Amino acid sequence: MKKEIKVPELLLPAGSKEKLDYAIHYGADAVYLGMVDFSLRAMRKGELITLDNLKECIDLAHSSGKKVYLTLNIFAYDNDIKKMEESAEKIKEANPDAILFSDFGVYNIIKKYMENIPIHVSTQTNILNSEAVKFWRDLGAQRVVLSRDLSLKQIEEIRNNVPDTELEVFVHGAQCVSFSGRCLISDYMTKGERKANHGNCSQSCRWSYKLLEETREGEYYDINENERGTHILSPKDLALINYLPDLIDLGIDSFKIEGRTKSLYYVSAVAKAYKKAINDYINYGQINKEENYNEIIKIGNRGYTTGFYLHKPDSEGYSYDISKGLAGADCLCVFTDKSDNKYKILTKNKFLLNDEIEIITPDECFKTKVLKIYDAKTGEEKELSNTNDESYIELSQAPKDYRYALARTIGVKNLR
């Protein structure tokens, strides 16, 4: 008899309403989002999610049959608790499918004012063992987000010991140098102005450092960097796309992607890649590892690692040379409208007439050629579309459905 496989949820970040919309069309079963004041990611551009538009964002996902989890996972001060109490009624009206939290005070507010909303326990609580899962289960948690500091074997033990609680694990994205974000480096380096556990981390671990060794008073000697650079605290990004079968076989309920501050292209492309890998295993019993890897290296990354899942990370798990994520393929444009055989686009990175480009949509991925470029305002033909230009383009092959279509460069550069 064929073993029944539980299909896991693919959970994507939604840093804005637009990213939420693209995430669910590119394959997300659910999204997580945070509001200004209560989230561990302080958004600095794009349409912020606030108390005023929260319901609109949640309704948008619900209209497509997708779930929304609201993150209230800051470590809260008394003034934060007061704001949360004042916001509770609007949060209830917005009707999120669950609330993520990490602070015991926030837990009390949820139980007091929003008791009918399911609760998920954030990775910030550093859940590393079965007894911790049971503790939160007994306090009413429907789901816990396991720490990224666990191995596959340890996750399996927790799954076997607590089969009646949903387990969520991170499978892709940036990692913290500290235990699941519980870090004070940012607070210290910015003199308290950028508090990591209040949603405003300066990512001090991504800065370039020099080591000094003091052997006698007043005399210092540089410990010289090697050819790999000086980003000694900067972990590579997590990528478990080729280990999803192991996690599916363990019965993990939700696969979480990191990245609420990442680009629209990142959210779309990573959702598409992971959804395909999940479906390939569920439908065919196997995945294409080479194809999966070739797809995720086109997305912004600092180099990839499996983190703690296979073994304890060593020096190969750090990105010494650079702290900024580099994409193997540049996002060129977002499709916004159509007129006859012309497609209106918003340009993200410059491209030229006659360039070969790659189009991705929720259902397609193909190469095509730019035949014509027109200025969106004047209609005049031009030789290129510059960054931030609105243009019309004609293509040798066009997407079947332009809505949510993106274009990117062909091939892979910045291979790390």
In which domain, by residue range, is 41 found? Answer: 9-179+234-317
Per-residue b or e along 350-367, where b marks 16 or more CB atoms closer than 10 Å to that residue's CB: ebeeebebbbbbbeeeee
Phi, psi of 83 (to 5 degrees): -60, -40
Q: How many CB atoms lie within 10 A of CB 296?
A: 20
Q: Check residue 3 and give its pLDDT.
A: 59
Residue 202 domain-assigned (yes or no):
no
CATH number of the domain within which 151 lies: 3.20.20.380
Residues 61 and 157 reside in one and the same domain: yes
Measured between its terminal Cα atoms, the distance across the chain in Å is: 43
Q: Check residue 164 and give its pLDDT.
A: 97
Residues 258 and 392 reside in one and the same domain: no
Tell me which DSSP letter residue 143 carries. E
Residue 18 domain-assigned (yes or no):
yes
Residues 383 and 254 reside in one and the same domain: no
- CA 82 to CA 336: how far, in whole Å? 41
Note the pTM of the prediction, 2 decimals: 0.88
The secondary structure element, H or E, covering residue 166 is strand 166-173
Q: How does pLDDT run across 274-319, given as a tens digit for each residue?
A: 999 999 999 999 999 999 999 999 998 888 989 889 877 666 666 6
Per-residue b or e along 103-142, where b marks 16 or more CB atoms closer than 10 Å to that residue's CB: beebbebbeebbeebbbbbbbbbbbbbbebbbebbeeebb
Among residues 310, 298, 253, the alpha carbon closest in space to that of 273 is found at 298
Residue 326 domain-assigned (yes or no):
no
Residues 24 and 170 reside in one and the same domain: yes
Q: Check residue 1 and give its pLDDT.
A: 38
Residues in Cβ contact with 369 at an 8 Å cutoff, skipping those fewer than 6 apart: 354, 355, 356, 357, 395, 396, 397
* Crossing angle between the packed helical segments 54-63 and 78-94, to the nearest 10 degrees: 40
Burial (0-12, 13-18, 19+ Cβ within 10 Å), 348 = buried
Residues 111 and 256 reside in one and the same domain: yes
Residue 201 domain-assigned (yes or no):
no
Q: How does pLDDT run across 28-63, given as a tens digit for each residue?
A: 999 999 987 675 555 555 568 899 999 999 999 999
Tell me which long-range contacts 134-140 makes (C-beta under 8 A, separation of at least 24). 134/162, 134/165, 136/165, 137/162, 137/164, 137/165, 139/107, 140/111
Among residues 236, 305, 300, 294, the alpha carbon closest in space to that of 268 is found at 300
pLDDT in tens, the chain (416 residues): 345 789 999 999 999 999 999 999 999 999 999 987 675 555 555 568 899 999 999 999 999 999 999 999 888 999 999 999 999 999 999 999 999 999 999 999 999 999 999 999 999 899 999 999 999 999 999 999 999 989 999 999 999 999 999 999 999 988 776 666 666 666 767 766 766 666 667 677 667 766 665 666 666 555 555 555 566 667 788 999 999 999 999 999 999 999 888 999 999 999 999 999 999 999 999 999 999 999 999 998 888 989 889 877 666 666 666 666 678 899 999 999 999 999 999 999 999 999 999 999 999 999 999 999 999 999 999 999 999 999 999 999 999 999 999 999 998 876 65
Number of domains in the chain: 2
Tokens of 338: 């159509």
Whether the CB-CB separation of 47 and 29 falls below 8 Å is answered with no
Residues in Cβ contact with 193 at an 8 Å cutoff, skipping those fewer than 6 apart: none
Last-in-domain residue among 255, 284, 317: 317
Last-in-domain residue among 272, 293, 317: 317
CATH number of the domain within which 337 lies: 2.40.30.10
- CA 150 to CA 158: how far, in whole Å? 10
Residue 416 domain-assigned (yes or no):
no
Residues 86 and 150 reside in one and the same domain: yes
Residue 86 domain-assigned (yes or no):
yes
Q: How far is CA 416 from CA 115, 216, 310, 328, in A?
A: 47, 40, 21, 9
Last-in-domain residue among 290, 317, 344: 317
Residues 138 and 246 reside in one and the same domain: yes
Residues 126 and 167 reside in one and the same domain: yes
- CA 416 to CA 411: how far, in whole Å? 14
Residues 305 and 354 reside in one and the same domain: no
Residues 262 and 373 reside in one and the same domain: no
Residue 218 domain-assigned (yes or no):
no
Residues 277 and 375 reside in one and the same domain: no
Residues 35 and 103 reside in one and the same domain: yes
Residue 208 domain-assigned (yes or no):
no
Q: Is the dihedral of CA 69, 70, 71, 77 positive or negative?
A: negative
Among residues 77, 74, 91, 182, the alpha carbon closest in space to that of 128 is found at 182
